[in-house]
């Protein structure tokens, strides 16, 4: 920054007529000069690092230029859009347009850490002669995604009795017979026990007192398969072919696995998504026409075929941006030989390409609507506390 002496400032003030900045010819009235508007709305990607990555949320950020930067609800409502690009049983890609990166990130974090699912938390091992240690086996079982709607269950605290509304019980009993070859124990061996645990609690006492009622590790009042939600939709692992262990001849595993409701912030096994992530919409702009052999060179530079060539007549060719969404920002197209003076790589700051990959408990579109509800609840709580 150049500092000037007080005298020279006074002289300059005298010489320069005071003109409001919005009256200058190159500043659109009520708007920002084009270079500032570009910095406000785009991340500029140079070959070594992105620049202008920050967002200006302060309402008075551009007050000196006569621009009101405050957030208006009506404006947000008219600008905000969600467009679904692809949707399958397991994943969804959609565009969220007109929001800030902080909100997109809030959805991502809620999806990963705050949406509950059911996962195996307690494993009762009756017999394990495999080479996999009990702890490792229990850990593997915990990571098996379960195909069950967590909204149908309650959280179970430490002091709660395991019942049909807070616990799902599976049993696994596999033996590799002597003389046969090694076998794989896969997740399809986990069998749902809708009546609850079959392991007897306090066997010795029960044997001594034949009048006492046999008690198991769970206290189900009714069978879970009598509940309407599970009649046509039995509970089980999402995938049948996850390998849990391998058994040699004579080896055996017998256990019960109890699943409870939890959140990804406690342990990743409760995260309902394999991943949830977003990226800003890529924008590729030609700063000058790219023609003939330069056009061909540009097409070859891009590994994901973002560019195409069009025929402009008289045997001449011109490069076009055909598939900007595919850009991975590898920056190959602006490397070397003044290419950064021909091509500009940008990211649109308020346009997010969001991808959700469900782990299997709920479809991705339901996960997103649940995430919206959680964010809404949080906002309401904050507003209530403030008021």
Positions in the binding site for ligand SF4 (CB under 6 A): 284, 301-302, 304, 306, 327-333, 345
Nearer to ligand SF4, 236 or 282 (CB): 282
**82-110 burial: b if 16+ Cβ within 10 Å, else e:** eeeeeeeeebbbbbbbbbebeebebbbeb
**166-199 burial: b if 16+ Cβ within 10 Å, else e:** bbbbbbbebbbeeeeeebebbbebbebbbbbbeb
Nearer to ligand SF4, 263 or 333 (CB): 333
Nearer to ligand SF4, 245 or 298 (CB): 298
Residue 93 near residue 86 (C-beta atoms within 8 A): yes
Nearer to ligand SF4, 119 or 345 (CB): 345
Q: What is the SS3 assignment for 43-82?
A: EEECCCCEECCCCCCCCCCCHHHCCCCCCCHHHHHHHCEE
Least gap, CB of 79 to ligand SF4 (angstroms): 26
Nearer to ligand SF4, 258 or 331 (CB): 331
Residue among 145, 186, 152, 188 at smallest CA distance from 358: 145
Nearer to ligand SF4, 156 or 301 (CB): 301
DSSP string, 267-301: -GGG-SEEEEEEEEEEEEEESS--BHHHHHHHHHH
Least gap, CB of 294 to ligand SF4 (angstroms): 14
Least gap, CB of 331 to ligand SF4 (angstroms): 5
Residue 231 near residue 214 (C-beta atoms within 8 A): no
Q: How far apart are CA 367 and CA 217, in angstroms?
A: 32
Least gap, CB of 302 to ligand SF4 (angstroms): 3
Least gap, CB of 72 to ligand SF4 (angstroms): 34
Least gap, CB of 328 to ligand SF4 (angstroms): 5
């Amino acid at each position: 920054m150049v500092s000037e002496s007080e005298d020279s400032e006074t002289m300059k003030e005298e010489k320069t007529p005071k003109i409001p900045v919005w009256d200058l010819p190159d500043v659109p009235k009520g708007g920002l000069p084009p270079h500032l508007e570009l910095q406000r709305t785009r991340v500029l990607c140079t070959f070594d690092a992105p620049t202008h990555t920050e967002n200006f949320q302060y309402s008075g950020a551009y007050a000196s230029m006569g621009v009101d930067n405050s957030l208006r609800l009506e404006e947000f409502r008219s600008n905000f859009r969600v467009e679904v690009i692809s949707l399958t049983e397991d994943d969804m890609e959609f565009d969220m347009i007109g929001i800030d990166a902080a909100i997109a990130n809030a959805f991502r974090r809620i999806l990963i850490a705050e949406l509950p699912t059911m996962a195996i938390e307690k494993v009762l091992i009756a017999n394990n002669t495999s080479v996999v240690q009990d702890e490792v086996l229990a850990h593997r079982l915990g990571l098996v995604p379960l195909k069950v709607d967590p909204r149908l269950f309650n959280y179970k605290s430490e002091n709660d009795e395991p019942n049909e509304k807070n616990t799902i019980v599976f049993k696994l009993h596999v033996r590799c017979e002597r003389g046969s070859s090694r076998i794989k124990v896969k997740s399809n061996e986990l069998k749902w026990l809708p009546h609850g645990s079959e392991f007897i609690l306090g066997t010795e006492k029960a044997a001594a007192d034949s009048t006492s009622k046999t008690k198991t590790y769970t206290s189900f009042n009714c069978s879970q398969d009598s509940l309407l939600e599970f009649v046509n939709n039995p509970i089980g692992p999402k995938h049948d072919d996850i390998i849990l262990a391998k058994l040699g001849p004579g080896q055996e595993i017998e256990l019960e696995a109890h699943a409870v409701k939890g959140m990804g912030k406690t342990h990743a096994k409760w995260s309902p998504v394999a991943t949830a992530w977003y990226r800003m919409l890529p924008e590729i702009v030609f700063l000058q026409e790219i023609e003939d052999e330069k056009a061909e060179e540009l097409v070859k530079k891009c590994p994901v075929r973002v560019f195409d060539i069009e025929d402009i007549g008289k045997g001449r060719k011109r490069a076009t941006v055909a598939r900007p969404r595919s850009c991975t920002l590898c920056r190959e197209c602006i490397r070397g030989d003044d290419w950064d003076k021909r091509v500009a790589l940008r990211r649109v700051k308020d346009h997010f390409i969001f991808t959700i990959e469900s782990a299997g408990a709920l479809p991705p579109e339901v996960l997103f609507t649940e995430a919206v509800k959680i964010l809404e609840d949080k906002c309401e709580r904050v507003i209530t506390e403030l008021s």
